[in-house]
Amino acid sequence: MSVLVTGGAGYIGSHTVIELLEEGKEVVIVDNFSNSNPIVLDRIREITNEDFKFYKVDTTNSDELEVVFKENNIDSIIHFAAYKAVGESVAKPLEYYTNNIGNTLNILNLMRKYNVKNFVFSSSATVYGDPHSCPIFENFPLSATNPYGATKLMIEDMLRDICKDNDSLNIAILRYFNPIGAHISGLIGEEPNGIPNNLMPYITKVAVGKLKELSVFGGDYNTHDGTGVRDYIHVVDLARGHIKALEKLNTNCGLVTYNLGTGNGYSVLDLIKAFSEACGKEIPYKIVDRRPGDIAMCYASTSNANKELGWKAEFGIKEMCEDSWRWQSNNPDGYTTAYIDEVTSVAE
Ligand code: NAD
Ligand code: WQD
């Protein structure tokens, strides 16, 4: 039996595939490299000494995706494949709805056809909109303020509906807070296209000399130092949360929803300080206006995941910063330069 991982070449997907392989699972990855690089697959093999099947398939293409279901004995799916940039989703809403909703519908229809019962969905803390208080519990009101968030909310609603209709399905909705960090090997990590939108990849690009200085968006929030507070979680902890979610689904639990965060809030200035200590350099920054759409504070209650999954984030902010820095300093151009020498073959 295999676990199908859509978007398994991406940032969170690649780290999760490593954890799956280390658990002895058979893994089938599907990715179209729209936001990732084939070299990641070689790096996963290098780290784990294990192999997996790979299909270069666009999950919006149902016919091509069906081949994956036909050729493999899939019992669980972890569905990462999506577009994820909030700002881009405002500029290209149709692309976001087509990719994120369209591909999920294909997968859910094929799950039904091939009788696959277990499904893990990558949701996001963005579904809480601007929460009335922190920590955020899973039963807080849900809302979307941009097309990206709307796709996550719509898919969550779809999953709730199909579970009502079919009590043999087991679905875990995982709401990630702010993943940062990288595998301890320094071989895989986050590689955003162009100028990063998110804080950690921006900081690492400044530290490695690719960008001049960081703009801190807003210094007048109602937080301990005026800058925005978030729940940063190490991507390896997040990846391990998926292993625990699969174990939970195997108990025939129906639909479950969990926050995956640490439960701690750090401000932008806290993160800059922790990162400076990790890399031994000052990070030049200036405080500028707030970024439209940002909220002051967002951190998780993790008690449900602790209790029901037996999962708890183990890495602290220091390790998150050290591991982000190891990845970025070993790969100042991401996978791009390595790609030319290293990539040998990509199985299709
Ligand atoms: P990522 O862009 O690194 O990974 C997504 C992967 O999916 C990429 O490899 C991309 O090539 C692939 N993909 C996208 N559309 C595809 C398609 N139609 N067919 C095949 N492959 C396709 O993103 P990530 O940070 O690893 O995020 C993974 C998931 O987690 C996404 O669903 C994202 O919305 C969600 N999420 C991410 C964050 C975050 O901050 N990174 C936070 C909350 C939720
Ligand atoms: C973190 C903090 C910024 C960049 C986004 C998505 C969310 C989820 C995770 C997918 C905020 C500040 C940032 C910069 C800054 N993704 N900042 N200067 O906005 O919490 O969440 O990514 O689901 O849906 O909205 O993350 O990393 O962009 O910002 O000062 O150059 O850093 O204002 O306070 P965010 P982020």
Q: What's the pLDDT tens digit per position in 18-65?
A: 999 999 999 999 999 999 999 999 999 999 999 999 999 999 999 999
How confident is the model at residue 347, as a pLDDT? 40
DSSP letters spanning 223-265: SSSSS-EE-EEEHHHHHHHHHHHHHHHTT---EEEEEES-S--
Residues whose CB falls within 8 Å of the CB of residue 328, separated by 6 or more in sequence, listed in order: 189, 204, 205, 207, 208
249-294 pLDDT per residue, tens: 999 999 999 999 999 999 999 999 999 999 999 999 999 999 999 9
Our answer on whether the CB atom of 11 is closer than 6 Å to any ligand 1 atom is: yes
The pTM (predicted TM-score) of the whole model is: 0.97
Higher pLDDT among residues 237 and 343, named by residue: 237
* Sequence spans of domains, the chain: 2-347
Q: What residues are paired with 233 via a beta bridge?
A: 179
- Our answer on whether the CB atom of 124 is closer than 6 Å to any ligand 1 atom is yes
Q: Whose CA is nearest to atom 14 of ligand 2?
A: 199
Catalytic residues: 148
Q: Whose CA is nearest to atom 31 of ligand 2?
A: 199
| Nearest ligand 2 atom to alpha carbon 149 | 24
For residues 151 and 162, give the distance between their C-alpha atoms in angstroms, rounded to a whole number: 16
Query: What mean pLDDT comes out for the span 103-107?
Result: 98
Whether 263 and 116 have beta carbons less than 8 Å apart is answered as no
Two tokens, residue 207: 């530290």
Ligand found nearest the CA of 68: 1
- Spell out the CATH class of 2-347: alpha beta
Ligand 2 midpoint to CA 199 (Å): 6
pLDDT tens column, 291-301: 999 999 999 99
Asked if residue 179 has a cis previous peptide bond (ω within 30° of 0), the answer is: no
Look at residue 10 and give its three-state secondary structure.
Answer: coil
Ligand minimally distant from the alpha carbon of residue 104? 1
Kindly state if the Cβ of 326 falls inside 6 Å of ligand 2: no
Q: With a 6 A CB cut-off, is 197 part of the ligand 2 pocket? A: yes
Which pLDDT tens digit goes with each residue over 194-238?
Answer: 899 999 999 999 999 999 999 999 999 999 999 999 999 999 999
Q: Could you tell me if the CB of 37 is within 6 A of ligand 1?
A: no
Residue 222 CA to ligand 1 centre (angstroms): 31
Closest CA to 282 of 198, 206, 227: 206
Q: What is the pLDDT of residue 337?
A: 58
* Tens digit of each residue's pLDDT (9 = 90 or more) over 60-73: 999 999 999 999 99
Pocket test for ligand 2, best of 217, 225, 229, 271 (most atoms within 8 A of CB): 217
For residues 253 and 249, what is the distance between their CA atoms, to the nearest angstrom?
A: 6
